[in-house]
Amino acid sequence: MTANLQLDRLPRTVELARGADGSATLAYVDQRLLPAELRIARTRDWRAVVGAIKALAVRGAPAIGVAGAAAVALWAQQAAAGATGAGTGPGAYRSALEAAAEEVAGARPTAVNLRWAVERVRDGAVAALDGGAAPGEVAEALYDQVKRMEAEDEAANRAIGAHGAALLRPSSCVLTHCNAGSLATAFFGTALGVVYAAAAEGKIERVYADETRPVGQGARLTAWELGRAGVPCTLVCDNMAASLMAKGAVDAVVVGADRIAANGDVANKIGTYGVAVLARHHGIPFYVAAPSSTIDASVADGAGIPIEERDPAEVLPQPLEGVQVWNPAFDVTPAALVTRIVTERGAFEPGGLVY
Ligand code: MRU
């Protein structure tokens, strides 16, 4: 049982703050360096944030949403200082805003939270402009909006945690894939938010973390995060999950999501689909934990979800003559394999999502 839950040992993943001179800076955990080093990177440059999202320094659907929103706020700050090259007239400012927002939203294609968050702040900027705000006032308004989004994200995760914990039995051993933890959100996490809420109720015996090839979000991030938070964790290679389930060691699977289609199909880290097939075979419930901002009602089913393909070097660091690499970052788990989708609004059958 988790006698020693220490969530205060977890860093805030992405946080916009004002420096002594009053200007906004985004602080984020550089997740490429974990578990060896916990380093907080800081930038005032919106394009550096885009680079951090592309390079997986900031990753996880809700975290890249908040970071993307912050990137637009930093753009507004740089534009107000005349540092973006955007013209000063209202028309030029608006088209530069649209172009910057599009660049941020396009940094990664699968997690819909990124576009959702960027469009919210872009719309906030447009509303401020329509209200007669000057560029400096737009930057102020966007700063406040991003701070609200950080708080909303944590509140949604805590609600997801409470709804999800209610689904778990006492002494549960939970298997998770990738990192849908505090590191993947502003704070607290989605799948691991369920774990933390359940652990606080004394319901968690152990978490099995899939290592999550090829980038190792489970091995590097989930294992680090759970160890730091004081949750008993056993790291397994991805290909060990079947044996673990066969010997009865897993009571429930809880994973996050990058985009959920209207019919309840779920895109998440590559390998999630395989875990769902295994869970069904072994009669183990398969829960998906995600905020409503991960639901994309404009996409009817999983076939419409764009799947990011990443650099082959993530799979094969040294190219081999005559060998090609396929490196999709996500896969789609059909709704039929999902027991419940847990959002901040409750726990739903995939076909009956409320959003
Ligand atoms: O490529 P990543 O590390 O950004 O992929 C992250 C995932 O697939 C997570 O499971 C998902 O974003 C949910 S995070 C709460």
User: Model confidence over 17-73: pLDDT tens digits?
Assistant: 998 899 999 999 999 999 999 999 999 999 999 999 999 999 999 999 999 999 999
Under DSSP, the state recorded for 155 is: H
* Ligand 1 neighbourhood includes 190 CB (under 6 angstroms): yes
Residue 280 has pLDDT above 70, yes or no: yes
pLDDT of residue 1: 53
Instruction: Determine whether the shortest distance from the Cβ of 184 to ligand 1 is under 6 A.
Output: yes
The structure tokens listed for 224 are 């680090």
Q: Is 329 in the pocket of ligand 1 (CB under 6 A)?
A: yes
* Residue 258 a catalytic site member: yes
Average pLDDT, the chain: 97
Give the residue, out of 30, 54, 115, 217, with the most ligand 1 atoms within 8 A of its beta carbon, to mutate for a pocket test. 217
Predicted confidence at residue 267, as pLDDT, reads: 99
Each residue of 95-146: pLDDT tens digit? 999 999 999 999 999 999 999 999 999 999 999 999 999 999 999 999 999 9
242 and 274 Cβ atoms separated by less than 8 Å: no
Asked if the model's pLDDT at residue 147 lies above 90, the reply is yes
Q: With cut-offs at 50, 70 and 90, classify the pLDDT of residue 88.
A: low
β-partners of residue 204 are 172
> In which region does residue 265 sit, left (phi positive, over 0), alpha (psi from -120 to 50) or beta (all else)?
beta
22 phi, psi to nearest 5 deg? 90, -5
Distance (Å) from CA 114 to ligand 1 centroid: 12
Closest CA to 176 of 249, 238, 255, 59: 255
Per-residue pLDDT averaged across 286-304, rounded? Answer: 98
In 3D space, the residue among 320, 266, 338, 328 whose CA is nearest the CA of residue 295 turns out to be 266
Task: Flag whether pLDDT at 8 surpasses 70.
Answer: yes
Query: In percent, how much of the chain has pLDDT > 70?
Result: 98
DSSP track, 233-251? EEEE-GGGHHHHHHTT--S
Q: What is the mean pLDDT of residues 257-271?
A: 98
pLDDT in tens, 160-171: 999 999 999 999
Q: What is the DSSP letter of 218?
A: I
Of residues 153, 210, 238, 258, which has the active-site annotation? 258
- Pull the structure tokens for residue 271: 């390998």
